[in-house]
Chains A and B, each alone.
Chain A
Amino acid sequence: MSNATVSADAAAVPGYAISHLHEIALEVFSTMVRCPLIARPNDPPRVYPRDIAGTVAFSGSWTGYVSMVTSQQGARHITAALLEMEPTEVDSQVRDAFGEVVNMVTGSFRSRMVKPGETWAITMPVVATGHDLAIEPPGDVGHVARSYLMDTEVVDIHLVVTNLGR
């Protein structure tokens, strides 16, 4: 996962977890959304309207969460593609569709991370809308973010690990 933006504590997140999340994000967008993601350099950061953020937490031998952030237009684009609608027809479906994509990404991440005999659970998706939304976990946690392009829309995916179970 080269070019990933990392926090000061990102070294706490093992590289294989970051690679799993990257591969899963590409797979979910290519197979389910049918709008492939293209990884883009994070530096310099691209300014875009961060209007919607979806989060699903996981708990097992690790705890943490995966968040996805994009613009309202990006979320409409994802929703239209998932539901085989025109972007102009999309309305109230955005929250559920955006949440479902984050749910699929986190659920697949959980499945890759779980070892035999372990139990990992994930929460229901939480979707927030607003302006200039930021994923800025407080304190001493591992945080890795990766930026992608879906056509012309920016999609940022964050992995925050609050406990590595060490």
Chain B
Amino acid sequence: MRVLVVDDSSTMRRIIINTLRKLGYEDTCEAGDGREALKSLTATPADMVVTDWNMPEMTGPEFVEALRAMPDLAKIPVLMVTTQAAKEDVIVAMRAGVNDYLIKPFTPDALKDKLLTLLARE
């Protein structure tokens, strides 16, 4: 099970990867923005993606839309982790193809629950 974490903040990537490792998911990789993530996924597909919304180059929803348009990668489950908490934001993310949504700030347990729920669908 390979999980790609996409965030321009190395801090947030580390927080999410630390949580994944505690859950036993050691095979993780990272990207600093959507373009880098698409390149990484094209080279080596992942089983799940955790992505931020506010990033340079492409926003999170733009990245997910691009991912969903790629036939080989379209079905990868995506969790979005963001401070964008308005109902309209969640709708935009879901329309882009995000499978689940976690609002920052979050507790470690909340992140664990979201990751486990999404991983269980796999």
Question: Which residues of A come within 8 Å of B, CB atoms?
Answer: 27-28, 31-32, 79, 82-84, 93, 96-97, 99-100, 103-104, 106-108, 110-112, 114, 116, 122, 124
B88 interface hit (Cβ, 8 Å): yes
- Asked if A107 and B56 sit within 8 Å, CB to CB, the answer is no
Main secondary structure of the interface of A (DSSP, over half): helix
Q: CA–CA, A12 to B43, complex, Å?
A: 53
Does A96 contact B9, Cβ atoms closer than 8 Å? yes
B10 touches A32 (CB 8 A): no
**Residue pair A96, B11 in contact (C-beta under 8 Å):** yes
Residues of B bordering A, CB below 8 Å: 8-12, 14-15, 18, 54, 56, 82-89, 103-107
Tell me the complex Cα distance, A31–B109, Å.
10
Kindly list chain A residues whose C-beta atoms are within 8 Å of the C-beta of B10: 93, 96
Q: Do A104 and B104 touch (CB < 8 A)?
A: yes
Q: Smallest CB–CB gap between B14 and chain A, Å?
A: 5
A110:B14 contact, CB within 8 angstroms: no
B9 A99 Cβ-Cβ under 8 A: yes
**A51–B31 Cα gap in the complex (Å)?**
30
Contact flag A108-B18 (CB < 8 Å), given A32-B106, A83-B11: no
Q: Is the CB of B15 within 8 A of A124?
A: no
Residues of B within 8 A of A28 (CB): 105
CA distance A148 to B12 in the complex (A): 24
B54 interface neighbour in A32, A97, A107, Cβ under 8 Å: A107
Whether B84 pairs with A104 at a CB distance below 8 angstroms is: no
Contacts of A103 in B (CB 8 A): 9, 54, 83
A107 touches B83 (CB 8 A): yes
Known contacts A82-B15, A107-B83; is-contact A124 B105 (Cβ 8 Å): no
